[in-house]
Amino acid sequence: MSLAFAISDLRRRPEFFDTVAMRIWRAWWEAEGASLDYISGRLRENMSDTPIPLALVAHDDEAFLGTASVIASDLAERTQLTPWVAAVWVEEEARGHGIGAALVERAAQDCFAIGFDRAYLCARPRMLGFYQRLGWSLLERQVGRQGLDVFFREANTNKINSPP
């Protein structure tokens, strides 16, 4: 069954702000001891009229379905790499409908549209196949204390994906 959805810049759909902040906090930061207020403050940076940071929201009219962001850096161990597709989240009941793939693609294209030739993302090792199917190349494994995989994608898909 197909699910209709749109992807919008969070600045154009601010009614989703609190939901995006909550999902990001619960998925990655609550267990680390960060407060929801801290995450909301960081997400507010996405509301200014700058190319980075940028938050995207997938929705079916008024129903929140998922989110992804473009940020300058997502991994303390690799601050020299920029920009990053980050905080990719799809609501459990909406998974399997291409929403995550569409969010990642849109975020990568937004990176390329502002002049970057390469975008990065990091993910738990169990997500390796998902990102490789989307055209991302594995750069490194087991990075940082969480043992994340680091991926990259070239703006020109005709290029050979080679490490930086």
Q: Which residues contact 40 (CB under 8 A, 6 or more apart)?
A: 17, 18, 21, 25
> Is residue 94 included in any domain, yes or no?
yes
Q: Tell me if the pTM is above 0.85.
A: yes
Domain-located, residue 107? yes
Residue 29 in any domain: the answer is yes
Coil, strand, or helix at residue 110? helix
Number of domains in the chain: 1
Asked if residue 137 is part of any domain, the answer here is no
Half-sphere exposure of 32 (CA within 13 A, CB side): 13
Helices (H) and strands (E) in the chain, counts: 4, 7
Residue 138 lies in a domain: no
Domain harbouring 81, CATH code? 3.40.630.30
Structural domain boundaries, residue 95: 6-113
Whether 153 is in a domain gets the answer no
21-71 pLDDT, tens digit per residue, is: 999 999 999 999 999 999 999 999 999 999 999 999 999 989 999 999 999
Q: Are 56 and 107 in contact (CB under 8 A)?
A: yes
Could you tell me the sign of the dihedral formed by the alpha carbons of 2, 121, 88, 145, in that order?
A: positive
Question: Is the model's pLDDT at 163 over the cut of 90?
Answer: no
- What are the pLDDT digits (tens) for 59-103? 998 999 999 999 999 999 999 999 999 999 999 999 999 999 999
34: tokens are 């960060």
Report yes or no on 129 lying in a domain.
no
Q: Which of 129, 124, 122 has the alpha carbon at shortest distance from 151?
A: 122
Tokens of 55: 């938050």
Residue 27 maps to a domain: yes
